[in-house]
Amino acid sequence: MLNLTPLKAFNDNYIWLIQNTQTFQCAVVDPGDAAPVLKWLAENPHWQLTDILITHHHKDHTGGVSALKQHSLARVVGPALENIPACDLAVQDNQTVELLGTEFTAMLVPGHTKGHIAYYWAGEQPFVLSGDTLFAAGCGRLFEGTAAQMYDSLQRLAQLPDHTLVYCTHEYTLSNLKFAAAVEPTNALIQQRLQQVIELRKQDLNTLPSNLAVEKETNPFLRCNSSELVQQVSSHLQKTLDKQDPIAVFTALRAWKDNF
Ligand code: ZN
Ligand code: FE
């Protein structure tokens, strides 16, 4: 019933288009630029844009909101704790959001920004729109929140069902996996995924969605309890980190990635 398609924007952003194939209503997520969405709507005139979902306030996620709203009268749904242009429905943690004839759940996942929201759909094939919080094989930078907040946010997302598909906003998977391979050199699943992603990117194909089962095996930011990871991060920092202190491990890991 719901169909997701990436519309490319800028260098490496994806604006996810969500279509309800029964009603011909659609929504877009994080339109940093209106142009790709307006182009799609012009080419697909039977479709009505009813909603614009925003995960956080950064310009590359919100830059197209005003133009799209003028064109379509779509409703803008965004995080209550952030300043979102033309926001019609400000959502809080755990709030149910009705759109496209179904229900999504807003999850407050601070870290990248203070009020970042992820949108979860618990239907027959569950998925989460994770914005700049959980990336394929990585996570967002800490611009406003603390490492502890981001760690908790990622743990919360990781508790969704294993087969939940992950739709994030950037094509960062290849560079994320190169880092993952440096952090856990003997993790065969990371090597396997890296090879798959190299092939996809050679053909300029997108690497999404991911799913939570794959992320738990290959995303270093969900693997702060891996002995090899803790040992590699410790030797990189030249400081002994304790596996029992995952937030310290996460903090060091995030700092290493920032300079990788
Ligand atoms: Zn961002
Ligand atoms: Fe972004």
SS3 104: strand
Q: What is the pLDDT of residue 107?
A: 99
Query: Catalytic site residue 170?
Result: yes
Residue 152 pLDDT > 90, yes or no?
yes
Check pLDDT > 90 for residue 64.
yes
**Residue range 218-239, pLDDT digits in tens:** 999 999 999 999 999 999 989 8
Q: Are residues 116 and 154 in contact, defined by beta-carbon separation less than 8 angstroms?
A: no
What are phi and psi for residue 190, nearest 5 degrees?
A: -65, -45
Is 71 known to be catalytic? Answer: no
Q: Express as a percent the part of the chain with pLDDT over 70.
A: 100
Average pLDDT in the 169-181 region?
A: 98
pLDDT band at 84 (very low <50, low <70, confident <90, very high): very high
Rounded CA separation 41/48 (Å): 8
What average pLDDT is seen over the chain? 98
Assess whether 116 carries a catalytic annotation: no
C-alpha 30/C-alpha 169 separation (Å) is 8
> Is residue 178 predicted with pLDDT exceeding 90?
yes
**Position 1 pLDDT exceeds 90:** no
Token pair, residue 87, equals: 């926001």
Does residue 186 have a pLDDT over 90? yes
Find the catalytic residue in 132, 152, 245, 258. Answer: 132
Distance CA 123, CA 67 (A): 31
pTM of the model as a whole: 0.98
In 19-146, which ranges are continuous DSSP H helix?
35-43, 59-62, 65-72
Helix (H, G, I), strand (E, B) or coil at 230: helix
Would you say 17 and 4 are in contact if contact means Cβ atoms under 8 Å apart? yes
Confidence of residue 208 (pLDDT cuts 50, 70, 90): very high
Distance 116 CA to ligand 1 centre (A): 9
